[in-house]
Amino acid sequence: MQGGCVLDWGLVVLKSLKYKGNALHVLDQRLLPHRVEWLCCTDATCVAKLIRDMAVRGAPAIGVAAAYGYLLAVRSALSQGRGLTVDTLDAAYRELAAARPTAVNLVWALDRMVACLQAARSLPQADRLARLEVEARGIESRDVEANLAMSQRGAALIETGAERGWVLTHCNTGALATAGQGTALGVIRDAWASGRLAGVYVDETRPWLQGSRLTAWELEQESIPYRLICDGAAASVLASGRVSWVVVGADRIAANGDTANKIGTYSLAVLARHHGVKFMVVAPRATIDRDCADGGAIEIEQRPAAEVRAIGDQLLAPADASVYNPAFDVTPAGLIDALVTEAGVLRQPDREGIARLFG
Ligand code: MRU
């Protein structure tokens, strides 16, 4: 891999990214939960590839990775004697931005880096580099803080009572998917810590199995009780009356509250409404794209057929089976009971409520 190296630190720390020694170290999420290996990138091309190939995933985490990828491009330009301008870095910007199209956090983070470079244009090159490193680290710590605020706000929505309920979650929205303790999984952690939960139903989340490989693993580290279910079992679990909330993250939220998240989220929202179960979306404001009028304008990433036909080397279908593999779907705002952000909670999110979050 260009600009990369493989490390095995042999240590499980729930942190999926570390920038140190002028390199971005990425916990390879494709190998979890059975192998803990770190990859490291020293250039933007390497970071873009790790995002595209899902070594790092989850909207906030890929935003943070992209910011550091841009910083690495700045470093390379400086060491090659190229000028540090938005134009000389445009190729790196475009390569990183194209790595995954649905999660808006990626472009949000890159645009902050570009704005920072522009604001520093009158400074000496070395100072511009220093400013950009501060900006990238700031994007990371802002996510940590947003996670904490969202976790508390979201947990407070989950009723306390003599009979503690279960929640159901989809995909992975925890420490692996963010720079901090997570979005939806952060809410679940805080709800568990404050005695509001009996446990968590975890959708396995085909085809990448982020639920079974990553969320179940994170919940085990925290000793939070969970039951792993096949995605198709969600309907009967919600019909059972045991679940009070479905709690999920988001990859891009349109200006009217329509929400793109991992494929299968929309089905859960329909099921939740049918069974009178409440539906919570947890995401930082960096995931809200106010330039996107509604869900119809959100680009949905299409992934390779091989991801559905096989798991690893094990074929599950005819070798050339025709496949449709959208990575995300859009849940209409009308099916969302609460949108939890670091700036506040919107009950029944709509265009006016979303605008208020930025007021
Ligand atoms: O394809 P992935 O694994 O990057 O998809 C991740 C999700 O859909 C998450 O729910 C979303 O990014 C929110 S993560 C805090």
- Asked if residue 219 and residue 347 are part of one domain, the reply reads yes
Residue 11, pLDDT > 60, answer no
**Is residue 251 annotated as a catalytic residue, yes or no?**
yes
- Asked if residue 156 and residue 142 are part of one domain, the reply reads no
Domain end point (choices 147, 163, 183): 147
Share of the chain above pLDDT 90, in %: 89
3-class secondary-structure state, position 127: helix
Q: Is the CB of 153 under 6 A from ligand 1?
A: no
Output the pLDDT for position 332.
Answer: 98
3-class secondary-structure state, position 110: helix
Segment 120-170, tens digit of pLDDT: 999 999 999 999 999 999 999 999 999 999 999 999 999 877 577 899 999
DSSP designation for 19: E
- Asked if residue 181 and residue 113 are part of one domain, the reply reads no
Q: Is the CB of 189 under 6 A from ligand 1?
A: no
Q: Is the CB of 336 under 6 A from ligand 1?
A: no
176 Cα to the center of ligand 1, angstroms: 10
Output the pLDDT for position 7.
Answer: 38
Residue 346, pLDDT > 50, answer yes
- Residue 213 CA to residue 218 CA, distance in Å, equals 9
Output the pLDDT for position 58.
Answer: 98
- Asked if residue 133 and residue 45 are part of one domain, the reply reads yes
- Residue 309 CA to residue 98 CA, distance in Å, equals 25
CA 210 to chain centre: 11
N-terminal to C-terminal alpha carbon distance within the chain: 44
Q: Is the CB of 178 under 6 A from ligand 1?
A: yes
Residue nearest atom 8 of ligand 1, based on CA coordinates: 262
Output the pLDDT for position 153.
Answer: 98
Tokens linked to 59: 């909207």
Residue 82, pLDDT > 90, answer no
DSSP designation for 259: E
- Asked if residue 53 and residue 133 are part of one domain, the reply reads yes
Average pLDDT estimate for 255-270 = 98
- Asked if residue 167 and residue 204 are part of one domain, the reply reads yes
Q: Which of 344, 174, 170 is CA-nearest to residue 245?
A: 170
Q: Is the CB of 171 under 6 A from ligand 1?
A: yes
- Asked if residue 325 and residue 295 are part of one domain, the reply reads yes
- Asked if residue 231 and residue 161 are part of one domain, the reply reads yes
Segment 164-187, tens digit of pLDDT: 789 999 999 999 999 999 999 999
- Residue 27 CA to residue 12 CA, distance in Å, equals 10
Taking the CA of residue 208 as reference, the ligand 1 atom at the shortest distance is: 3
Segment 291-300, tens digit of pLDDT: 999 999 999 9
Q: Count structural domains, the chain.
A: 2
CA distances to 15, 76, 175, 263, 269 from 202, in Å? 21, 42, 16, 15, 15
Tokens linked to 118: 């522009």
212 Cα to the center of ligand 1, angstroms: 14
127 Cα to the center of ligand 1, angstroms: 35
Residue recorded with tokens 């930025």: 358
Q: Is the CB of 59 under 6 A from ligand 1?
A: yes
Q: Is the CB of 183 under 6 A from ligand 1?
A: yes
Q: Is the CB of 177 under 6 A from ligand 1?
A: yes
Taking the CA of residue 174 as reference, the ligand 1 atom at the shortest distance is: 15
Domain end point (choices 114, 132, 147): 147
Residue 8, domain extent: 4-147
CATH number at 258 reads: 3.40.50.10470
Q: Which of 100, 147, 103 is CA-nearest to residue 259?
A: 103
CA 116 to chain centre: 23
Residue 2, pLDDT > 70, answer no
Residue 84, pLDDT > 80, answer yes
Q: Is the CB of 173 under 6 A from ligand 1?
A: yes
- Please state, rounded to an integer, the average pLDDT across all residues of the chain: 94
Taking the CA of residue 105 as reference, the ligand 1 atom at the shortest distance is: 12
Taking the CA of residue 100 as reference, the ligand 1 atom at the shortest distance is: 4
- Asked if residue 142 and residue 156 are part of one domain, the reply reads no
Q: Which residues lie closer than 8 Å to 182 by C-beta, 6 or more apart?
A: 147, 151, 173, 174, 175, 188, 189, 218, 249
Phi/psi for 227 (5° steps) reads: -130, 125
Segment 21-40, tens digit of pLDDT: 999 999 999 999 999 999 99
Output the pLDDT for position 9.
Answer: 37
78 Cα to the center of ligand 1, angstroms: 34
Cα angle 337, 340, 344 (rounded to 5 degrees) comes to 115
Taking the CA of residue 248 as reference, the ligand 1 atom at the shortest distance is: 10
Residue nearest atom 5 of ligand 1, based on CA coordinates: 58
- Residue 60 CA to residue 52 CA, distance in Å, equals 15
- Asked if residue 182 and residue 317 are part of one domain, the reply reads yes
- Asked if residue 130 and residue 173 are part of one domain, the reply reads no
Output the pLDDT for position 162.
Answer: 59
The amino acid at residue 202 is V
Residue 85, pLDDT > 90, answer no
- Asked if residue 170 and residue 106 are part of one domain, the reply reads no
Query: Cα dihedral sign for 100, 101, 103, 105?
Result: positive
Exactly one of 143, 251, 258, 329 is catalytic; name it: 251
Q: Which residues lie closer than 8 Å to 349 by C-beta, 6 or more apart?
A: 257, 281, 333, 336, 338, 339
Output the pLDDT for position 6.
Answer: 42
Segment 212-262, tens digit of pLDDT: 999 999 999 999 999 999 999 999 999 999 999 999 999 999 999 999 999
Model's pTM, two decimal places? 0.95
